[in-house]
Structure 1
């Protein structure tokens, strides 16, 4: 165990071993190495286990694979298990399809504040550009360069500003963006104690806003969410969402409305069941 452990990176995944391989590589080349990685695996098959095993052999980082059997979309349950297994006081959440820029961890650590959570950004790659990502592209950080992306066919949009390396520009854009700072599981960080205080994720929730709901409880409990979407960035690899379904979305919406209406600060369906 690293003695100067400053963060636990929690990466959620499900049967995307080729994407996870790239994501893990992006954490292996971070500008700071004082963190551990926990992979919160919602029932992937042996291919994912093999990718994690291979990566663990070749990295100096401490890597834990927390797995549960596939029983439909149960991401909230595996995330709660990962929170419990974490060894650092500070947690950074991302997904197994988001490649982190090499200053990702350093930025979250530099900007963290007591009684605050940080809401980062992500830039969506097209299916075509996603297929052109390689280990070399990640090592050379080309997937964060506008010129490379445009040359490979990524449409030029305002959202490319999320890839800025100018701190001044990032601070300005964070300040003027109309997008609210929320708990978005692709790129968010907070103190472990603040998450435990609201009892983690509500395990009744399926796909669609399940991460926002825990953030809403944290806000109700006095945690301020700070906007860093132009400072801490990752690129999101393209994939389909076969787990989206109307019934689950309605249930999640109902739970979120209850949280909002009651100004809930705690879920009895979280880490500790009551």
Structure 2
């Protein structure tokens, strides 16, 4: 199975650099990383070039002009560019634990998609993470998260480490598995069949709507909340406008009510 990681980013070269440290230290490296860039300045391209040379990762940069929040459009361009048969989606501000790719790959199965999330760090903790913290796994421990990351005790349960207990917690959690754009995966063929992301949608539920179409297609979401671990670096969201979420809510409601499996506003052809 060939894996393609798709990372969305927008003008966060420092955070993207830290994220790519995580992929450089994977037990199982992704076959490729597609950076879905929603119009960043040249600083992001420079950071990608540096990371590519420093880590040897197979990184492709997919970019379009910045004319507002168009994440869904650039994600579709990244899906089209991906050559892997299995797609792992995350963000350029989420550092994966060293078993992240291996866990997604181990649980990939026909007729399903995988759902997880991220442990949100404080801004101080986000700034404090060093390359050594990532390489040695320190920033994925409960002790580090408590002392440096500002992470509450209940959230630190996601940092138990591999073992039977995280598997049990995934079975017992009352949180329903859904498509979370910072940590989810599916077969590329399924992403193409539902038409990718709805390009009318902006910030607020655009990822969930994609997952709802996957469910309507007949896929079963599998919970990896405590097993596929990433830490989320803090940042502002100045690109968000109040009416974005309301427009998205209407589209999502229609998708659910009509049980739509494919959007007419996504991928134009088989990718």
Rate the CA distance shift 1:143–1:252 in 2: closer, same or farther, 3 A. Answer: same
Rate the CA distance shift 1:175–1:75 in 2: closer, same or farther, 3 A. Answer: same
Q: Specify every segment of 5 or more residues in structure 2 that has no aligned partner in the other structure, as ranges.
A: none
Name the residue aligned to 1:196.
192
Name the residue aligned to 2:211.
215
Deviation at 1:121, TM superposition (A): 2.3
Structure 2 length normalisation: TM-score? Answer: 0.96
Is 1:28 matched with 2:28?
no
Tell me the distance in 2 between the aligned counterparts of 1:37 and 1:228. 21
Rate the CA distance shift 1:88–1:178 in 2: closer, same or farther, 3 A. Answer: same
- Give 3-state SS (helix, strand or coil) of 1:49's partner: helix
> Which has the higher mean CA deviation after the structures are superposed, 241-250 or 225-234?
241-250
Name the residue aligned to 1:49.
45
- Give 3-state SS (helix, strand or coil) of 1:51's partner: helix
Deviation at 1:247, TM superposition (A): 1.0
RMSD across aligned C-alpha pairs, in angstroms?
A: 1.2
2:139 corresponds, among 136, 143, 149, to: 143
> Which has the higher mean CA deviation after the structures are superposed, 87-96 or 131-140?
131-140
Q: How many residues align?
A: 269
Name the residue aligned to 1:266.
262
Tell me the distance in 2 between the aligned counterparts of 1:206 and 1:47. 24
Q: Specify every segment of 5 or more residues in structure 1 that has no aligned partner in the other structure, as ranges.
A: none
Name the residue aligned to 1:172.
168
Per-residue deviation, residues 6-65 of structure 1 (Å, max 9, x unmatched): 200000000000000000111011001252100000000000000001111223321100
Is 1:117 matched with 2:113?
yes
Deviation at 1:102, TM superposition (A): 0.5
CA contact (8 A) 1:121 1:162 kept: no
Is 1:183 matched with 2:182?
no
Name the residue aligned to 2:76.
80
Tell me the distance in 1 between the aligned counterparts of 2:148 and 2:198. 40
Name the residue aligned to 1:233.
229
Tell me the distance in 2 between the aligned counterparts of 1:106 and 1:41. 25
Tell me the distance in 1 between the aligned counterparts of 2:143 and 2:29. 29
Is 1:130 matched with 2:119?
no
Deviation at 1:155, TM superposition (A): 4.2
Rate the CA distance shift 1:83–1:41 in 2: closer, same or farther, 3 A. Answer: same
Deviation at 1:137, TM superposition (A): 1.2
CA contact (8 A) 1:31 1:106 kept: yes
Tell me the distance in 2 between the aligned counterparts of 1:153 and 1:104. 20
Name the residue aligned to 2:220.
224
Tell me the distance in 2 between the aligned counterparts of 1:152 and 1:216. 36
Per-residue deviation, residues 169-191 of structure 1 (Å, max 9, x unmatched): 11111011111111101000000
Per-residue deviation, residues 56-83 of structure 1 (Å, max 9, x unmatched): 1223321100000001000000000000
CA contact (8 A) 1:119 1:189 kept: yes
Rate the CA distance shift 1:98–1:263 in 2: closer, same or farther, 3 A. Answer: same
Name the residue aligned to 1:13.
9
Tell me the distance in 1 between the aligned counterparts of 2:240 and 2:206. 12
